[in-house]
Structure 1
Amino acid sequence: MAIIQLNMVTKHYKRTEALRRVNLSIVRGEICGFIGKDEAGKSTLFKIIAGMTPKSSGDVVIQGNYRYGATSLERKNIGYVLNDNFFSELTIFENLEYIRKAKGIFDRGEVERVMGLLDLEMHDILYRDLSVGKKQRLKLAATIMGNPDILIFDEPTQGLDSQASINFWRLVASLNEDFGTTVLISSTSLGNLKNLCTKFCFMHNGRILETIERHHLELKSQRVLHLKVDATEKTCLILEQQLGITDYRVGMDKELVLYSFIDQPDIIAKTLVDNGIRIFGIYVQEVAIDDYYLGLIAGDVYD
């Protein structure tokens, strides 16, 4: 059963459509990476899931309950903290203590626990005097406080050095393994997410272009067949109806990218020519996993 379910969710900010008919299903225990450029809609989506901003239309179902407004229990079960949740005149400890009480966590030792996990040993330094990296670690500590069922991280390693980033990824993996925590993470690139996440959602212009499991992404990122023709829409129909090929996308300049029949270009070419399609190019390409979503975005731009 899905722990997070979104059906045709949209979000408008005055004249701007931040989310466009988003459908999403996250199963308990998944680690889902949301990949997209800045302003792709990732942060807006996270705020709606966390109950921090209302949707304009559509259905949001969290842990089997339709979301109309986040209750205190739901806020406790979802770990997501914004940068402006902290007080500049309070120390690390005081900020975390405030958040502990706001979340309704009664264990006073929880603040010390998360500070230890994120190596935040300083009690007397004000938030305003912290480095960018320390502020990010404070945000992460506040997010995991109380071991919530769902953790949401928006660009979590931004501002962290390489060792701190590695420690964070290990922490996320251990929380997922030990407690079955569902994790949502956003990033502008695959980076370290490709080895951590079990599922990926590629976003652009407020839409989810594709949701794909990691092992399927790895398969698609190995070899693809490029096809340049004179009639893209007719070619798609021929591929689907006569060859049963549905695993493809339309990229830049209406070029088709196929993920099956890669080793049978002669069969594809003959079938298309027999149906009056002119072929300008057909070739196999090795694709790096980090370039996969760039191709999706390019296809969305040229659609």
Structure 2
Amino acid sequence: MKNTMIEIKNLSKEYGKFKAVSDASITINQGDIYGLIGKNGAGKTTIFKMMLGLSHASSGSISIMNSSNDAELRKNRQKIGFFIGSNFFSYLNAHDNIEYYRRMKGVEDTKETDRVLKIVGLYGEKKPFKSYSMGMKQRLGIANALLGNPDIVILDEPINGLDPQGIVEIRQLIKKLNKEMNKTLVISSHILSELDLVATRFAIIDRGIILKELDRADLANEEGSVVIIKTNNLEKTVTILKDATQIENISIQDDKIIINQDNINTASLSKYIVESGLELIEIYAQHNSLEDFYFNLTGGQNNA
């Protein structure tokens, strides 16, 4: 049984008549890489600010590492490191920027600055912050979040604006923090393909409402798969398959047949289509992604 690190129950945040977050409930367990998924303005950063005590909830409750009262909550918030944007001095190098924040945060260990810079690969970097690539800036922000060796690390849009190389570097760093350093990570992103590669648990938020919370095993079951078929006569193929099989969810889209049903034996279908006198051009199973699941759940479009 994993320990619960953060538990949010029925959390809401209102600004006048506008509800930024509405009745949200999520559970983050020790060792999770927890992906909070939603488009810009969905409420992700608002939830983070309430977790950190930077914004007061209108209603609901937050418990961090089983805190049961306000005093314990304030104490346990000190065990959270957070990256919400990178606010550094443009003329200072990596060491001097992190050293400033070490002192600001009251971290007494003078070796801490070098420790976190080594973790993110910026130890010994002499250039000023203003000359950094976006990936370097993001990694310095994560180094700041790691000061004091927190148990929980919150990363708000850590790959936003990065080139492919920068994305790979952050992905590797996230996995290192989780596997080698036993950090529980909470990551928000609207780049779903990347969260699909790293996260172990997910919550999908839309317009301030948590639509679904699930782990990777649940997601695999939810995602399902589709079978794509191309023949020389699509209409005849659909008619034959409907008459001779128990396949129900079958349709023609553009120049192909789509079967949206799990546990389809493509080998058997191939044999049946050919034996029916049709020319089979192509048949393959395509696994639906986290992105597909998200857009199906929110009713959005993949190009939105």
Alignment of 1:57-136 (within 5 A): 57-66=59-68, 68=70, 73-83=75-85, 85-121=87-123, 124-136=126-138
Q: Which residue of 2 aligns with 1:221?
A: 223
Pick from 156, 161, 164: which aligns with 2:163?
161
Alignment of 1:130-209 (within 5 A): 130-209=132-211
User: TM-score scaled to structure 1, two decimals?
Assistant: 0.71
Alignment of 1:199-278 (within 5 A): 199-223=201-225
Q: Distance in 1 between matches of 2:29 and 2:137?
A: 31
1:162 deviates by 2.3
**Counterpart amino acid of 2:62?**
V
**Counterpart amino acid of 1:158?**
N
Q: Distance in 2 between matches of 1:126 and 1:291?
A: 41
Contact 2:93 2:128 in 1 (8 A): yes
Contact 2:94 2:140 in 1 (8 A): yes
Q: Which residue of 1 aligns with 2:256?
A: none
Q: Which residue of 2 aligns with 1:298?
A: 299
Instruction: Note the alpha carbon deviations across 1:171-229, whole angstroms, 9 max, x for none.
Output: 222222233321101111321221321111001000110001111111221248xxxxx
Contact 2:67 2:76 in 1 (8 A): no
User: TM-score scaled to structure 2, two decimals?
Assistant: 0.71
Q: Give the length in aligned residue pairs.
A: 247
Contact 1:223 1:286 in 2 (8 A): yes
- Root-mean-square deviation (CA, aligned residues, Å) is 3.1
Q: Which residue of 2 aligns with 1:289?
A: 290
Contact 1:72 1:103 in 2 (8 A): no
Q: 1:77 to 1:223 in 2, by over 3 A?
A: same
Q: 1:45 to 1:8 in 2, by over 3 A?
A: same
**Counterpart amino acid of 2:143?**
A
Unpaired runs of at least 5, structure 2: 227-259, 265-285
Q: Which residue of 1 aligns with 2:30?
A: 28
**Counterpart amino acid of 1:83?**
G
Q: Distance in 2 between matches of 1:183 and 1:176?
A: 7
Q: Which has the larger radius of gyration?
A: 2
Q: 1:116 to 1:164 in 2, by over 3 A?
A: farther
